[in-house]
Amino acid sequence: MSKTKSFIYSALIVALLVGDAVGGQPSTASPCFPIANHHDEVVHFTENVFLLLQKAPASVTSWCRTTSRNRLVKGVPGSLHLRCLAVDVVPENRKSRMLILHLARRFKLLAIDEIDHVHLETVCFARPVHRHAA
Ligand SMILES: [Zn+2]
């Protein structure tokens, strides 16, 4: 990416963040309220992915995986895809990619740039977990 475009995207992200800070459009992301069970965990996660994708358009290319599919695509053992708590998305364009990477935390998501896609997983759990996996 050129320095000019990088600057423009950075300025755009700062403007979005400042806009919220000074009373602009409030964030509608769901906080990590106490989550009772796996069903609620999945609902909470998918809602936050949906809200993020309203600000940064992207296509979901992977969500829930079986263990055999996870092995086939060389996912890490214990991947959150196995619990439907991770998605892979292909951003619509570079601006969208930058926004996803910068805004994910506000939507209680960990974003990992895997070059040909962005892996998003929840940071909110019903029970303690011991790992994060792409
Ligand atoms: Zn993934």
Domains of the chain: 28-122 (3.30.1380.10)
Q: Is the pTM of this model over 0.85?
A: no
Mean pLDDT for 13-41 is 67
CA–CA gap between residue 51 and residue 12 (Å, rounded): 18
pLDDT score at 34: 80
Mean pLDDT for 3-30 is 57
CA of 76 to the centre of ligand 1 (A): 9
CA of 14 to the centre of ligand 1 (A): 27
Which residue(s) pair with 122 in the sheet? 109
51-80: b or e for each residue (b if 16 or more CB lie within 10 Å)? bbbebbebeeebbebeeeebeeeebeeebb
Mean pLDDT for 48-59 is 98
12, burial (CB in 10 Å: exposed 0-12, middle 13-18, buried 19+): middle
CA of 62 to the centre of ligand 1 (A): 7
pLDDT score at 21: 46
pLDDT score at 29: 78
CA of 78 to the centre of ligand 1 (A): 12
CA of 7 to the centre of ligand 1 (A): 28
